[in-house]
Every structure is written in structure tokens, then in C-alpha cells.
Amino acid sequence: MEAQESQGTVTLTDKAVEKVQEFASMHPEAEGKQLRISIQGGSKASYEYGFTFDEGGASDQRLEQGSIEVLVDPFSLMYMTGSVVDFVDDLRGSGFVVDNPNLPPLMQDPVARRVNEVLEERIRPSVASHGGTVQLIDYVEGRVYVQLGGGCQGCGMADVTLKQGIETLLRSEIPEVVEVLDTTDHASGSNPYYTQGK
């Protein structure tokens, strides 16, 4: 992964620059515009990033990335300093990935960071093989709060997955974890097994 030299604090790998050029050539509305990278939201555990083409404004930082220019607004730049943007295409799908050294608030807690690592390495691949997702929402005094999505939202086996799968593994790997709680609204899933009374 070779990053392009940048005058600023966010860099793109050669592959990311290539993909930006490819996308721009395929979409006429991108002509004459630059790639904007921004933080669009997220949770205490992770940031969510946006990638769009626009003309930019006076407050944007303009970063030269080889043959393209990248726009980053001041708010996003505060939380993205030192980030490297790559484009990946693997079994999990394809898209831009941001390697951001700036930790979200929850990830500054070493136990929460370890929980997220176990979720990423041991639990998410298994859940994804059944069309589901699991996201860390919070960690407070031994209690892990997660949200299930995809095929897990509304699934009649969600509680089994949570208690016998996720909680059992997390408690065995991380002694500080005493309980895993599901914050998911299962009744509003796209294919729920149960719904609220009419």
C-alpha cells in the first residue's frame, strides 16, 4: 500500500487515487469537481466517512494527491489528521477504507478496544457468513452494548447468537466483560420474526 505524497494531513494510496479517477470518468456530474472526504457521523466506537464529488468552499483544505485534489472540511480534518485512505476489494466487499490513527472516544478505553478487536477478528466474520452484522455501541463498567443488523435484526435466533455466541466468546477472551446487552430494535428489521402487537 503506497500512499501518494500530500501537502496536507490526509493521504490516498495509489490504488485509491486510481479508483477516484475511474469513478470520476464514469460519472459526468463529477467533471470539474474534486473528491470530498468527510466524517459524516458514527458512534462512540467508530467514525463513518463520506466520499462525494463537489467544487469545495473557502474553508476546505485542498490536498494534492498525485493527479487529483481532495477536499476536507475543517471539522473532519480535526479527526482525520494522519489518515490514509485506501481502496480494498476482498471477500467482505469493495470500497474505500480509512486507516485513521485518531481514536473515537470509546476506543480510548483499552478494554473497549480489545472488545472491538475480538468482534472484528472472531465474531463479525462468523455473523457475516449468515448475512448479519454486529457493531459495538458502548462499553460501561463490564457491560458491552452491541447492535445487530442485516440478517440478525429481527431474527428469532438473535438472543441465542448474542448469549451463547457473542457473550460467551467475549467473556472467555476478556475477563473484564461481565455482560453483553443487545440494543437492536428487532421489531423494525427488514425481515423480522416477530413484530409489535397491532
Q: Are residues 134 and 152 in the same domain?
A: yes
Report how far residue 195's alpha carbon sits from residue 198's, in angstroms, rounded to the nearest whole number.
9
User: Is 187 or 170 the better-scoring residue by pLDDT?
Assistant: 170
Q: Does residue 196 form part of some domain?
A: no
Q: Which pLDDT tens digit goes with each residue over 82-102?
A: 999 999 887 667 889 899 998
Domain boundary, last residue among 50, 84, 103:
103
Count of the separate structural domains present in the chain: 2
Domain boundary, last residue among 48, 76, 103:
103
- How far CA 84 is from CA of 1, 12, 88, 99, 151, in Å, comes to 10, 6, 13, 5, 31
CATH code where residue 154 lies: 3.30.300.130
Residue 163 lies in domain: 109-188
Q: Which pLDDT tens digit goes with each residue over 36-50?
A: 999 987 778 888 899
pTM: 0.62
Residue 152 burial (C-beta neighbours within 10 Å; 0-12, 13-18, 19+): buried
Q: Are residues 15 and 97 in the same domain?
A: yes
